[in-house]
Amino acid sequence: MSVIYLDNNATTKVDPEVVEAIMPYLTEYYGNPSSMHTFGGQLGKAVRQAREQVATLLGADESEIVFTSCGTEGDNAAIRAALLAQPEKRHIITTQVEHPAVLNVCKQLETQGYSVTYLSVNRQGQLDLDELEASLTGNTALVTIMYANNETGTVFPIEQIGMRVKEKGAIFHVDAVQAVGKIPLNMKTSTIDMLTMSGHKIHAPKGIGALYVRRGVRFRPLLIGGHQERGRRAGTENVPGIVGLGKAAELELRHIETAIKKETRLRDRLEQTLLAKIPDCEVNGDVTQRLPNTSNIGFKYIEGEAILLLLNKYGICASSGSACTSGSLEPSHVLRAMGLPYTTLHGSIRFSLCRYTTEAQIDRVIEVMPEIVERLRALSPFKNDEAGWLQAQEQTLAHR
Ligand SMILES: *Cc1c(COP(=O)(O)O)cnc(C)c1O
């Protein structure tokens, strides 16, 4: 059975062209780019080319790109750098729906004397810019807000946010791990000071990422050691990863327009057909401001995990909540922040597409989903009984 992979917001397949680009750097060219001899030194050229490819994708200058080990490192490094650069300021603004790589750093900083404002979202998962404006003060060191949400695909009005942040003189960091390659970006005309991206979300391998740091923004490294990355990130360069990230960035740019069109069309067909065929389900998130590849649908009265298990039998990979919170049965913090009712909260599934997704794969999901939902609802003692379901959910929550 071939796999139908609709979990691309969790991770992606490495593009064959990326594999091909990396191979020589796993075999022949194993030198250290910092070495004095030609054998190692020649790798500097490969790293420079990759930096150029990543910079081009972001509309940035090569000197503004710092290679990291992953998106999580980029988020941690940016937050730390922003705080170290302005030690007198002790306030941070973020949102309730960030990835744990931002949220849990902020929670830890609260135990270290920082105060953090977690902006709320409405039922569509959107921010209230008045709330942002009211929270910004002269004491605000950093505003760290994601470009697009990994669970719902909701896209925030980043430049409108950035304008307000800049007026107050705070540093603006954006976790753009889900936006890179899905939304055209241009740092030259942006208000963003620092931006995080990750390789494995854009068809490069796991274990490589990049942080954009605007020229002029004071930066202090998270990893301290050698002088790699102009003293901004110590540690011998992951040359194969860097070369792969560069190639993946080049491919994202080459494919972005056709990918947006194709993924939007397939995503909308999947979503609209499921909504038409299956009663009592709804789309979670802002359907007007959304990533082209993401659909998060709540199926009432059943459990998302049960849907995933049945989809798995057909070789279909999707997700409930984020990979980082699964394993616990806690409902997603993102959907909870949106104030979804319990009935939908537990039965929500994320389908996330990529440029390899085919029409036939979407057809297969459309074919099997209605029977899966029907089967589970037949087993559900609370079918159409909102009050009963609610009571049962409250009881399980009370027992935790
Ligand atoms: C995946 C993801 C991250 C973490 O990136 P890693 O490379 O897996 O560490 C951070 N933020 C968002 C929005 C993500 O989707």
Q: What digits encode the pLDDT tens for the residues 302-341?
A: 999 999 999 999 999 999 864 444 455 678 999 999 999 8
Q: Which of 9, 155, 201 to mutate to test the pocket of ligand 1 (most atoms within 8 A of CB)?
A: 201
Measured by CA distance, the residue closest to atom 10 of ligand 1 is 71
pLDDT band at 344 (very low <50, low <70, confident <90, very high): confident
Per-residue pLDDT, 124: 97
Which among 169, 150, 172 has a CA at the least distance from the CA of 159? 172
In this structure, are 222 and 266 located in the same domain?
A: no
Per-residue pLDDT, 307: 96
In this structure, are 169 and 304 located in the same domain?
A: no
In this structure, are 238 and 280 located in the same domain?
A: no
Which among 39, 17, 18, 19 has a CA at the least distance from the CA of 30? 39
Q: Where are the beta strands (DSSP E) in 292-347?
A: 294-299, 316-317
Measured in whole angstroms, how far is the alpha carbon of residue 359 from the centre of its chain?
A: 25
The closest-lying atom of ligand 1 relative to the alpha carbon of residue 70 is 7
In this structure, are 240 and 281 located in the same domain?
A: no
Q: Are strands 91-95 and 281-283 parallel, antiparallel or unpaired?
A: unpaired
| The residue type at 389 | W
Per-residue pLDDT, 325: 47
Is the CB–ligand 1 distance for residue 72 below 6 Å?
yes
Domain finish residue from 227, 252, 277 = 252
List Cα–Cα distances, 13 to 10, 33, 280, 355, in angstroms. Answer: 11, 28, 33, 10
Domain finish residue from 219, 252, 285 = 252
Residues 81-130 pLDDT 10s: 999 999 999 999 999 999 999 999 999 999 999 999 999 999 999 999 99
In this structure, are 44 and 185 located in the same domain?
A: yes
- HSE on the CB side for 11, CA within 13 Å? 13
The enclosing domain of 365 has a CATH number of 3.90.1150.10
Query: Whole domain around residue 189: which residue ranges?
Result: 16-252
Query: Roughly how many angstroms between the first and final C-alpha of the chain, as a whole number?
Result: 38
Tell how far the Cα of 227 is from the centroid of ligand 1, in angstroms.
26
In this structure, are 318 and 222 located in the same domain?
A: no
Tell how far the Cα of 378 is from the centroid of ligand 1, in angstroms.
37
- Distance between CA atoms of residues 144 and 171, nearest Å: 8
In this structure, are 151 and 300 located in the same domain?
A: no
| The residue type at 342 | Y
Measured by CA distance, the residue closest to atom 3 of ligand 1 is 71
Per-residue pLDDT, 78: 98
Residue 72 sits at φ, ψ, to 5 deg, of -60, -45
Q: Which of 19-23, 190-194, 253-257, 391-395 has the lowest mean pLDDT?
A: 391-395
In this structure, are 116 and 187 located in the same domain?
A: yes
Is the CB–ligand 1 distance for residue 74 below 6 Å?
no
Residues serving a catalytic function are 324
In this structure, are 279 and 186 located in the same domain?
A: no
In this structure, are 55 and 161 located in the same domain?
A: yes
Per-residue pLDDT, 322: 47
Q: Where are the beta strands (DSSP E) in the chain?
A: 4-5, 65-68, 91-95, 115-119, 140-146, 171-175, 194-198, 209-213, 281-283, 294-299, 316-317, 348-352
Per-residue pLDDT, 134: 98
Is the CB–ligand 1 distance for residue 352 below 6 Å?
no
Instruction: Answer whether 117's CB lies under 8 Å from 135's CB.
Output: yes
Is the CB–ligand 1 distance for residue 178 below 6 Å?
yes
Helix, strand, coil percent values for the chain (each to nearest 5)? 45, 15, 40
193 against 384, higher pLDDT: 193
Residue with tokens 């009050």: 387
Which among 366, 343, 352, 367 has a CA at the least distance from the CA of 280? 343
Mean pLDDT, the chain, as a whole number? 94
Q: Which of 253-267, 270-284, 343-357, 377-391 has the lowest mean pLDDT?
A: 377-391
Domain finish residue from 236, 252, 268 = 252
What is the tally of structural domains in the chain? Answer: 2
Q: Does residue 203 carry a pLDDT above 60?
A: yes
Kindly state the helix (H) or strand (E) to which residue 349 belongs, with its residue range. Answer: strand 348-352
Q: Which of 12, 68, 69, 150 to mutate to test the pocket of ligand 1 (most atoms within 8 A of CB)?
A: 150
Q: Does residue 144 carry a pLDDT above 70?
A: yes
Kindly state the helix (H) or strand (E) to which residue 196 belongs, with its residue range. Answer: strand 194-198
The enclosing domain of 66 has a CATH number of 3.40.640.10
In this structure, are 231 and 274 located in the same domain?
A: no
Which among 61, 81, 67, 369 has a CA at the least distance from the CA of 188? 61
Per-residue pLDDT, 323: 47
The closest-lying atom of ligand 1 relative to the alpha carbon of residue 75 is 10
In this structure, are 242 and 267 located in the same domain?
A: no
- Distance between CA atoms of residues 266 and 357, nearest Å: 8
Instruction: Answer whether 222's CB lies under 8 Å from 237's CB.
Output: no
DSSP annotation string for 371-400: HHHHHHHHH-TTTT-HHHHHHHHHHHHHT-
- Distance between CA atoms of residues 312 and 205, nearest Å: 24
Tell how far the Cα of 232 is from the centroid of ligand 1, in angstroms.
20
Residues 29-64 pLDDT 10s: 999 999 999 999 899 999 999 999 999 999 999 999
